Amino acid sequence: MTLKIGVIGTGAIGQEHIERLHNRLVGATVVAVNDINRKQAEAVAKSITPAARVFDSGQALITDPQVDAIVVTSWGPTHEEFVLASIAAGKPVFCEKPLATSAQACLNIVNAEVASGRHLVQVGFMRRYDRSYRLLKQQIDNGNLGAPLMVHCAHRNPSVPDVYAGDMAITDSFVHEIDVLRWLLDDDYVSAQVVLPRKTRHSRKDLDDPHMILLETKKGIRIDVEIFVNCPYGYDIQCQVVGEDGIGYLPEPMSVLLRKEAKLSHEILQDWKLRFIDSYDVELQEWIGSVKAGVVRGPTAWDGYFASATADACVVAKHSGGIVPIEIGNRPGFYDPQPKLSAA
Amino acid sequence: MTLKIGVIGTGAIGQEHIERLHNRLVGATVVAVNDINRKQAEAVAKSITPAARVFDSGQALITDPQVDAIVVTSWGPTHEEFVLASIAAGKPVFCEKPLATSAQACLNIVNAEVASGRHLVQVGFMRRYDRSYRLLKQQIDNGNLGAPLMVHCAHRNPSVPDVYAGDMAITDSFVHEIDVLRWLLDDDYVSAQVVLPRKTRHSRKDLDDPHMILLETKKGIRIDVEIFVNCPYGYDIQCQVVGEDGIGYLPEPMSVLLRKEAKLSHEILQDWKLRFIDSYDVELQEWIGSVKAGVVRGPTAWDGYFASATADACVVAKHSGGIVPIEIGNRPGFYDPQPKLSAA
Amino acid sequence: MTLKIGVIGTGAIGQEHIERLHNRLVGATVVAVNDINRKQAEAVAKSITPAARVFDSGQALITDPQVDAIVVTSWGPTHEEFVLASIAAGKPVFCEKPLATSAQACLNIVNAEVASGRHLVQVGFMRRYDRSYRLLKQQIDNGNLGAPLMVHCAHRNPSVPDVYAGDMAITDSFVHEIDVLRWLLDDDYVSAQVVLPRKTRHSRKDLDDPHMILLETKKGIRIDVEIFVNCPYGYDIQCQVVGEDGIGYLPEPMSVLLRKEAKLSHEILQDWKLRFIDSYDVELQEWIGSVKAGVVRGPTAWDGYFASATADACVVAKHSGGIVPIEIGNRPGFYDPQPKLSAA
Amino acid sequence: MTLKIGVIGTGAIGQEHIERLHNRLVGATVVAVNDINRKQAEAVAKSITPAARVFDSGQALITDPQVDAIVVTSWGPTHEEFVLASIAAGKPVFCEKPLATSAQACLNIVNAEVASGRHLVQVGFMRRYDRSYRLLKQQIDNGNLGAPLMVHCAHRNPSVPDVYAGDMAITDSFVHEIDVLRWLLDDDYVSAQVVLPRKTRHSRKDLDDPHMILLETKKGIRIDVEIFVNCPYGYDIQCQVVGEDGIGYLPEPMSVLLRKEAKLSHEILQDWKLRFIDSYDVELQEWIGSVKAGVVRGPTAWDGYFASATADACVVAKHSGGIVPIEIGNRPGFYDPQPKLSAA
C-alpha cells in the first residue's frame, strides 16, 4: 500500500519534503499540493511530482478522498487551521514546526485530537531523528550513564538574518532544545531562568546575544543551554549529559581529520541545513511507517504544546530576570507513551 | 519505471539484499529469486518478497523477459557463469565480491563485456559507497591535501573463524583495500611486497597474523597496510593519506564520547557488518539509479579483474619474501572513466 | 644568593614543600622548620633537610635573623597569625590556601600588608601555575578568542572523605575556580547563584552533590561551574572559555591514547594530587624568583580575601536559593597590577 | 655535593646547556668552558656563568682537577677525541649527538670504555627523556599492550635548510627514531629497507623527500617510519605501537583545543626545538643524578655505536633498494642492563 499524501505549502521546506517523498522515501506518493500562491504550487508540482493535483484550498485538499494523509508546510499562522481540519477529517497530519503560533492554539489542537479519540498529529521536531541524538539517547536509556543529573548544551549559529529579532533566540532556536531534551530525558520542565551574558560585538544593536537558559525538570535535572547566534566559527550543536555514573557527549558530525597549515583540525559546519539534513529523511520515512502501522511514535501535539508553553515561560523569564515556574498541567492520559516497538 | 530485479543466491547476503531492495530502496522490486537450494529460495521469497517467482536455475532467471537486471549473491565459484550469462542476455548485473575466483575468470568476464559493447557489470566493492571514504576522497579530489605521496592503512578484525585460513588475509581482507585505494587515489599498482611481523599469540598455529603489505603505484605513491585479523580490541579500518600539503584521516564511525570508569572513550565496533552496513544501501540505490540512467558509475569488471590480479601478486610476494612486479596490462579503452556526473 | 626559608607546619603538604625546596628547586634552602608537633618537625627535618633548625614556635622562626622568607603550611586557623607576624617582621611569606579562615581575617591581613607598604604575601593558589591553564590564558590574552562572554567549567572528584561536609563543595573545591577564573579573565565577580541539581545516589545522605554555581563578572561575563565530588569516573577539571571570536578549552592532562578492549580511550586521573603536581614546583620556583627580584607576581593577599568573600556569598546564595550580590569594595591601589614582566 | 662541570663547545646547544645547568638544574655548576673560538667561549662565560674559567683546549679542561665531569657540545668531528680523553681521565662525559661521525669511531669509544672498566659515557639522545615517550613506554612495560608486533612512526619537519642534504634524512633525522625505538622496545635491529615514495614538490631538486624506512627487530617486530622533512604543516612526531592486546599512541604535545574560523583544531608545532625542549632539562638533570649516584641510566656508548651502525645500514639500503641485514655483533656484557632503579 502506497500512502497518498497531500502537501499544503510549497515554499522552500515544502519543496524539499515533496522532493524527499517523491525521490528518496519508500511507501508514499505525493498526490496533491496546495499553496496560497497557486502558480508556485503548479510550478512545484510540474517540476517534481507532475502527477499531483493542485488544489485551490488547503481545506479542499484535506477532505479530498484521494488524500490519505497531510503534510503541513505552510506559513506558521495557518498551521492551526490546517491541523484542526485534518483532525476533523480523521486524517493523519505531519505539521512542520511550530505546531501553532501560540500555546493556546496548540492546546486547541491537543483538545481537538483528544476529543477525536485518534492519534493523528505529528510535529516536525526533526532532531529526534538525528543519528547523533539517537546514539546519545541509547546511552541514557541503556543505563550506561546512570540517572541524568545535569545537561550542558550549546546551540551556536554563525550568524542570523535581519528578520531574526526579538525573542527568536528562544522561540526559534532554543525551541529545538526544549523538545529534544524532553525526549532525551523523558522528563518535563518545572522552571526556567534566562541570563544575558555580555553581548558579543558581532550582534546587531537590537539583538541580545548570547543567552544562557536554565531549565529545571520534574526529576530535578538541571539543564543549561548557551544560545549564541552570532558565533562566528560556525553552526555547532553541543549536548553533554552528566549522569551519576558517567558523561555522554553528542557526537560531532562526521568529518575528515586533517593535519594542515599548522593545525590538526576537523571542519565545523557553517550551515544548519547540513547538520540535520539526514534527519528529515528519517523523520518522514518513519512517519510514513507509523501512519501505515497505525501507531504513534513521533512528537505529538502535546509535545508541540509543551514546547510552545515552555518557550513562553522562557520569554517571561528573560524579561523579568527571575526564575519562572512552568505550570503546564498534567499530560492527558491519551498521550501516555505507547508500548515500545523494536528499536529503530 | 520500477526496475525488476532477479536475485541469484538467497543465502545471508542474498537475503539482506532482497530485504534492502524490497523495503528500503526506491525504484526497484524483486520479481525473481533462485538458489541452488530451492526450498530456501522459496522460504526467503515467501517471508520477504512474496510476489517474486522462484526459478529452478540461475540461467532461467537471467533470461526471463520479466527480469530487467540481475543481482548475483550465490557462492563465489558460480559468479563467472552467472555474470557471463547476464552479459550474454544483455542485462545489467550486480555481482557480489569476488567477481570470480581467479584472475583469468575475471578476465573472461572483462573480455565478454568488452565484446558485448555494453557496460553491464558492477562488482560489489561497497567501501566506495561508505560515507567516511567518500569524505576522504573529497579531500583528495578537491586538492586540499596536495598530491598524495603515501597512504598508511590498517585493517583489523577482532577474530576470524576457522574457515579463515591460508592466504585469506590477502584474498578476503586486503582485497577491500586493493579496490578502495585504487579508487581513492585514481591510480594503479606496479609492485607488491608482503612482510610478516612477529605473530600474535591470539592467532591459530596455522595462520600468519598480522601482515604488513606494501604497494607501489604508477604515480609512485607508497602504500602500507597492516592486516591484523586477531586484533582483540575490535573491527577497525584506518586510512591516512599523506599529501604534499596535508594529511587526511578516514573518519571513525560515529559514536558517543564517554567519560566513565576512569576513561574518556569512544566505543570501537566489534562487528564488521556494522561498519559498512549503510554503504550497502547506498551502493544498491546508486546501482539502481545508474542502471536506469544507463550510465556507468560503480566498480567495473575491470576493477574486479585488477583486484584479483593484484591479490595474486601479493600472494606470490608473501611466499617469496621479495618485491613482486604487478604487470596487468593497460586498461581497455572501453573502461575509460566516463565524464563525471554531479557529485553523489 | 640562596634564599633561606623557614617552613611552619610539617604535615603532608609541608613535607612535600620541604622536599621540593630541598631537592628540586633552585635558589633556596630550608634552614628552619616548626610544627605544633615538635617531634614530627624534628623527624621531618632529619629525614629531608638535616641542616635545618627546629623552632619551638612559629613566631620565633619568623623573627629569626637567619630566616629570609616564610612558608606557612600549618593548620588553616593558624594562618592569619603567622602571616601577620611575617608582615610585622617585614619578611616575604608564602601561605597555603586558605589565606585565613574568614573573609574578615583575610581583610586583616590585607590591611596589615597595605599599612606595611611592602608586598610580602603570596597565597598558594597553584592552578595559576598549571601549564594547561597558562596555555588557555595565552589564548585569551593574545586576543585569539575575542572578548570572553561565557565560561563553562566542571570540577569533578571521584569521591570525597567523610570530613568533606557542609559547604565544602564551595569553600574547599569551588574556591579554586574562584581564584583561577578571576586570574584567567582579569575580572571580578558581582553576583553569585547556586543551584542544586538532582542528587547523585553516590553521595552521602548528608552531602549535597552536585552543585551548579553561576557567577557574573563586572564585565558581564557569565560563568557556570559544575561541582561534582562523587563523580565516579575520576578527577576531572574542565574549563571552556567562549569568546566573541572563538572558544578555547583547557587542555586535558597528557596521556597515551589507547585502542584496547573495544575502546579508543584516554585514561582519566583518579587522584587530584597528580593533576596539579607539577604546578607546585612551578609555583614555588617562581615565588623564590619573585622574592629575590623583589617583584610581585603571584596571588596576593587581596586575591585571598576576594576568594574568601566570594565563597561566603556563594554559601549565602546556596542557602537562600537567590541571586546574591557580591559587594567587596574596590581593590586598594596598593594591589594594582604591576607592569608586566616577560612571559613565563 | 655540587657536580663541577666543564663544557666543551659554546655554540648554540652549548650555550643552552650552560644556561640550563646554571639556572634551572639542581646539583651542578659550570666551572669551565672551552671552544675553538676562545672569544666566543669568553663571551658566553661572561654572560651566563661568570665564575667559570675559560680553557685554551678541550684536553686541558678535561684533565683539570677542578672539573668533575664533562659535557661535549663541540662540532661533531671532535666528539671522538674529547670522549676518549674523558675516558682516559676517568671522568664522566655527556656527549651530544652524534657520539662520533662514523660507526668505527663509535666503536673505538666503546672499546676504550670497556677497557677502562668504568661506565663513563652518556650520549645525548634526548627523546628518551620526553614525557610523551615515557608515557608510551610505561604502557609497553606494564604489559598493557601485550607483546609489540608492529610500530608505525612518522617524523615530519616543515622544512629543512640548504645544508640538509644527501642522506641526512637518515643520519640526522631518522637516527632519533633508531635510538628511541630500540629503547622503547628493548630490542635490536636485524634488517633495514628504504623506500622512496613519489617526491614532494616542496623539496629541493637535489633532496629525496619523503622516505619510508622499514626495520625488523630480533624479536620480529616490524617498524615503518615515514621521514618527511618538507611537510608544510609542521613539526610532528608520531609513534604508534601495535601490540597483541592493544595499540598505544605517542601523546601529542599539550595545546588548547579551539573552535574558531570553521575549525575544531589543535595547533601543530612549527619548531622542533619546542617539541623536546623540556626533555633536555630532564636529560641533564638525570645525568647529574646518575653521575652522583655512580649508576648508569642514560644512552650508552654502545647505544651511540648501534645507532651509527644502523644508520649506515639504512644508507646502504637506500642506495641499493634492497633489504640490508644489520650485523652488529653482540652487545658486550659490560653494557648489560643494570638492575632497575625506581621509576623516574
Q: What is the pLDDT of residues B151-184, one digit of tens each?
A: 999 999 999 999 999 999 999 999 999 999 999 9
Q: HEC states along chain C?
A: CCEEEEEECCCHHHHHHHHHHHHCCCCEEEEEEECCCHHHHHHHHHHHCCCCEEECCHHHHHHCCCCCEEEECCCHHHHHHHHHHHHHHCCCEEECCCCCCCHHHHHHHHHHHHHHCCCCEEECCHHHHCHHHHHHHHHHHCCCCCCEEEEEEEEECCCCCCCCCCCHHHHHHHHHHHHHHHHHHCCCEEEEEEECCCCCCCCCCCCCCCEEEEEEECCCCEEEEEEECCCCCCCEEEEEEEECCEEEECCCCCCCEEEECCEEEEECCCCHHHHCHHHHHHHHHHHHHHHHHCCCCCCCHHHHHHHHHHHHHHHHHHHHCCCEECCCCCCCHHHCCCCCCCCC
Domain limits at D165? 128-271+304-335
Torsion angle defined by CA atoms of residues A163, A168, A174 and A180, in that order, rounded to the nearest 10 degrees: -70
| Record: contact D197-B149, CB cut-off 8 A | yes
The Cα A4–Cα A69 span in angstroms is 7
Q: Do residue C196 and residue C282 come from a single domain?
A: no
Alpha helices by DSSP H, listed for D24-57, are 38-48
Nearest CA in chain A to D253: A264
pTM of the model: 0.96
In a domain, A326, yes or no: yes
Give the three cell numbers for residue B317: 610476494
Whether residues C95 and C233 share a domain: the answer is no
Degrees to nearest 5, angle at CA D46 with D41 and D52? 75
Q: Residue B292: which of B94, B15, B2 has the closest Cα?
A: B2
Q: Which of A232, A252, A263 sits opposite D265 (nearest CB)?
A: A263
C343, pLDDT greater than 60: no
- Inter-chain CB proximity C263 and B260 less than 8 Å: no
Considering the domain architecture, whether residues C164 and C310 belong to the same structural domain is answered as yes
The residue with greater pLDDT, B296 or D24, is: D24
> Does the ipTM surpass 0.85?
yes
> Residue B293 pLDDT > 60, yes or no?
yes
CA distance A195 to A317: 9
Q: Which residues pair with C325 in a beta bridge?
A: C191
Check residue C104 and give left, alpha or beta (phi > 0: left; psi -120 to 50: alpha): alpha
Number of domains in chain D: 2
Residues of chain B neighbouring D247 (CB-CB closer than 8 A)? 233
Q: Looking at the predicted structure, is the pLDDT value of residue B342 above 60?
A: no
- pLDDT of D344 reads 41
CA dist., res. A236 & res. A234, Å (int): 6
Residue B252 domain-assigned (yes or no): yes
- Looking at the structure, do residues A91 and A151 belong to the same domain, yes or no? no
Is the pLDDT score of B17 beyond 60? yes
CB B202, CB B230: distance < 8 Å = yes
A interface residues, B as partner, C-beta within 8 Å: 23-26, 131-132, 135-136, 138-139, 144-145, 245-251, 254-261
Q: Measure the CA–CA gap between A196 and A120, rounded to whole angstroms.
A: 39
Which of C35, C42, C43, C37 has its CA nearest to residue C14?
Answer: C35
Q: Is the pLDDT of residue D343 over 70?
A: no
**What per-residue confidence (pLDDT) applies to B320?**
97
Kindly tell me if the per-residue pLDDT of C106 is higher than 60.
yes
Dump pLDDT digits (tens) for B68-92: 999 999 999 999 999 999 999 999 9
Co-location of B9 and B99 in the same domain = yes
Please tell me the distance in Å from D325's CA to the nearest CA on chain C: 33
pLDDT digits (tens, 9 = 90+) for C224-234: 999 999 999 99
Interface of D with B (CB under 8 A): 146-150, 152, 195, 197-202, 210, 212, 214, 216, 219-222, 224, 226, 228, 232-233, 242, 244-247
- Beta strands D3-8 and D69-72: pairing type? parallel
Asked if D279 and D130 count as a contact pair (C-beta separation under 8 A), the reply is: yes
DSSP β-ladder status, D69-72 and D53-55: unpaired
* pLDDT value for D295: 84
Tell me the C-alpha distance between C196 and C318, whole Å.
Answer: 8
| Nearest residue in chain C measured CA to CA from D28 | C26
- In this predicted structure, the answer to whether residue B24 has a pLDDT above a threshold of 60 is yes
Q: Which residues of D touch C132 (CB under 8 A)?
A: 254
> Is the model's pLDDT at C329 over the cut of 90?
no
Interchain proximity C147–A201, CB inside 8 Å: yes
Give per-residue pLDDT as tens, D9-20.
999 999 999 999
Inter-chain contact C150–A247, Cβ cutoff 8 Å? no
Q: How much is the pLDDT for B196?
A: 98
**Residue A231 belongs to some domain of the structure:** yes
- 614582566: which residue's cell? C341
Is residue A50 domain-shared with residue A141, that is, in the same domain? no
pLDDT of residue C339: 60
Residue C98 shares a structural domain with residue C187: no
* Half-sphere exposure in the Cβ direction for B121 (13 Å, CA): 37
Grid coordinates of A207: 539583538
Q: Is the pLDDT of residue C344 over 90?
A: no
**Confidence band (pLDDT; 50, 70, 90) for B337?**
confident
B341 has a pLDDT exceeding 70: no
pLDDT at D338: 67
Q: Which residue of C has its CA nearest to B235?
A: C262
Contacts of C25 in chain D (CB under 8 A): 26
Closest chain B CA to residue D232: B245
List the subunits that have 3+ CB pairs under 8 angstroms with C: A, B, D
Per-chain mean pLDDT for chain D: 96
Per-residue pLDDT reduced to its tens digit, D208-226? 999 999 999 999 999 999 9
Long-range contacts (CB closer than 8 Å, 24 or more residues apart) made by B79-87: B79/B105, B80/B105, B80/B108, B80/B109, B82/B8, B82/B58, B83/B109, B83/B121, B83/B301, B84/B108, B84/B109, B84/B112, B85/B58, B85/B59, B86/B62, B86/B120, B86/B121, B87/B112, B87/B113, B87/B116, B87/B120, B87/B121
Here the CATH number for the domain that contains residue A83 is: 3.40.50.720
Co-location of B239 and B294 in the same domain: no
DSSP state string for B246-313: EEEEPPPPP--EEEETTEEEEE--S-HHHHSHHHHHHHHHHHHHHHHHT---S--HHHHHHHHHHHHH
Residue-averaged pLDDT of chain B: 96
Q: DSSP state, A144?
A: T
Task: Indicate whether B158 and B117 sit together in one domain.
Answer: no
Flag whether pLDDT at C37 surpasses 60: yes
The parts of chain A modelled with pLDDT lower than 50 are 341-344
Chain B CA closest to residue A24: B26
Question: What pLDDT score does C169 carry?
Answer: 97
**Contact of C100 with C79, CB cutoff 8 Å:** yes
Q: Are B135 and B222 in contact (CB under 8 A)?
A: no
**pLDDT exceeds cutoff 60 at C341:** no
Output the pLDDT for position B333. Answer: 93
User: Residue C247 and residue C263: Cα distance in Å, rounded?
Assistant: 28
Q: Kindly report the backbone phi and psi dihedral angles of residue C153, in degrees, each rounded to the nearest multiple of 5, phi listed first.
A: -130, 160
Residue at A230 is within a domain: yes
Q: What is the DSSP letter of D333?
A: G
Phi and psi dihedrals of D263, rounded to 5? -135, 140
For residue D341, tell me if it sits in a domain: no
Q: With an 8 Å Cβ cutoff, are A198 and C219 in contact?
A: yes
Please name the residues in contact with A76: beta carbons below 8 A apart, sequence gap of 6 or more: A98, A100, A101
Q: pLDDT grade, residue C1 (50/70/90)?
A: confident
Residues A108-118: pLDDT tens digits?
A: 999 999 999 99
Tell me which chain B residues have a C-beta less than 8 angstroms from the C-beta of A144. Answer: 258, 260
Q: Is the model's pLDDT at C254 over the cut of 90?
A: yes
- Whether D258 sits inside 8 A of C248 (CB atoms) is yes
Q: Tell me whether residues B247 and A260 touch, CB distance under 8 A.
A: yes
Subunits next to A (3 or more Cβ pairs <8 Å) are B, C, D
Picking from D259, D264, D270, the nearest residue to A262 by CB comes out as: D270
Contact A149 C200 (CB under 8 A): yes
Q: Is pLDDT above 70 for B338?
A: no
Is A241 found in the same domain as A164?
A: yes
Please list every residue in chain C whose beta carbon sits closer than 8 Å to the beta carbon of residue B266: 263-265
Of D147, D150, D200, the CB nearest to B226: D150
- Using a pLDDT cut of 70, give the percent of chain D over it: 98
Determine the Cα–Cα distance for residues B319 and B211; give it in Å rounded to an integer.
12
Q: Which three cell numbers stand for residue A208?
A: 541580545
Contact B236, B275 (CB under 8 A): no
pLDDT per position as a tens digit, A235-294: 999 999 999 999 999 999 999 999 999 999 999 999 988 999 999 999 999 999 999 998
On average, the pLDDT of chain A sits at: 96
User: How high is the pLDDT of residue B343?
Assistant: 43
The label of the residue with cell 596490462 reads B329
In this prediction, residue B84 carries a pLDDT of: 98
pLDDT score, position D337: 81
- My answer on whether A138 and A119 are in the same domain is no
What burial class does residue B65 get, using C-beta atoms within 10 Å of its C-beta: 0-12 exposed, 13-18 middle, 19+ buried? exposed
Looking at beta carbons, which residues of chain C come within 8 Å of A232?
244-246
* DSSP secondary structure string for all residues of D234-261: --EEEEEEEESSEEEEPPPPP--EEEET
Task: List pLDDT tens digits, range B117-128.
Answer: 999 999 999 999
Does the beta-carbon distance from A221 to C197 stay under 8 Å? yes
B107's grid cell: 578476465
Distances, alpha carbon D256 to alpha carbons A233, C333, D261, in Å: 16, 34, 15
| Residue D342, pLDDT above cutoff 60 | no
Residue in D219, D233, D244 closest to B201 by CB:
D244
Is B201 close to D150, i.e. CB distance below 8 A? no
CATH of the domain at A139: 3.30.360.10
pLDDT in tens, C40-77: 999 999 999 999 999 999 999 999 999 999 999 999 99
**Are C325 and C195 found together in one domain?**
yes
Mean pLDDT, chain C, integer: 96
3-state secondary structure of B217: strand
Taking the C-alpha atoms of residue C325 and residue C191, their distance in angstroms, rounded to an integer, is: 4
Query: To the nearest whole angstrom, how far is the Cα of C316 from the nearest Cα of chain D?
Result: 35
Predicted confidence at residue A338, as pLDDT, reads 67
Q: How far apart are alpha carbons A132 and B14 in whole angstroms?
A: 30
